Amino acid sequence: MRQTCQWLSGQGFIFRQPKTHRSTRPVALSPGTVERLHQHRVSELEKRLAAGAYWQDHDLVFTDYLGKPIHPHTLWDGWRLIIRQTGIALRFHDLRHAHASLMLAQGTHAKIVQERLGHSTISTTLDIYSHVTPGLQEEAAARFDQLLGRRAVKHP
């Protein structure tokens, strides 16, 4: 089942259908990520066995010890611990932006980044993330000259 889960103060967790068809899209994962998700699946199954009849099956990937969604405060506490251990000063909300920015900075085609983020148009992606792509014009010119077998010349 494909669903979203949102915490609303006073109401608890609310499960809904994704808001658009783009919300349920395939995204390629690295072999390391797939392996880590397989390990996580084993730990989730162990939690399920330990909980027995108390397990609440909401068909979630990440759960608390009884199969329920993880409370936002628990996520924030875990994220603060990661920040302290790594020294990476990012808000949890910044992870999506950091992922897209790093992919673009590595030279990943903007169309791929657009598809991963679920933006309806590539212009949305480029409008938001174009600041992380300085120097792409120069890189493109240099690669084109390499293709033609000559060196790029920089003009002042």
**Tens digit of pLDDT per residue, the chain (156 long)?**
688 899 998 999 999 988 877 778 888 999 999 999 999 999 999 999 999 999 999 999 999 999 999 999 999 999 999 999 999 888 888 888 889 988 988 888 999 999 998 888 999 998 888 776 667 667 777 888 888 876 555 656
Q: Judge if 127 and 86 occupy the same domain.
A: no
Residues 114 and 99 in one domain: yes
Residues 1 and 76 in one domain: yes
pLDDT of residue 49: 97
Provide the residue type at 14 as one letter.
I
- One domain, residues 60 and 105: no
State the amino acid at position 86 in one-letter form.
T
Return all residues near 103 (Cβ < 8 A) that are at least 6 apart.
112, 113, 116
Count of CB atoms situated within 10 Å of the CB of 110: 19
CA gap 76, 60 in Å, rounded: 19
Q: What pLDDT is recorded for position 51? A: 97
30 and 73 co-located in one domain: yes
Global pTM? 0.71
Instruction: Report pLDDT for 38.
Output: 97
Query: Number of structural domains, the chain?
Result: 2
Last residue in a domain, options 44, 75, 90: 90
Are 140 and 155 members of one domain?
yes
Q: Sort residue 22 into left (φ over 0), alpha (ψ -120 to 50) or beta.
A: alpha
- Only one residue has tokens 């120069």, namely 138
**Where is the domain boundary, 60, 90, 120?**
90
Residue at which a domain ends, from 40, 66, 90: 90
Residue 56's contacts (CB-CB under 8 Å, 6 or more residues apart) are: 66, 67, 68
Range of the domain at 71: 1-90
CB-CB neighbours of 9 under 10 Å: 6
**In the prediction, which pLDDT does 71 show?**
93
Tell me 97's DSSP state: H
Q: Are residues 103 and 69 in the same domain?
A: no
Tokens (6 digits) for 35:
């392996």
If asked whether residues 51 and 98 sit together in one domain, one would say no
Residue 134, pLDDT score = 65
Closest C-alpha among 71, 34, 63 to residue 46: 63
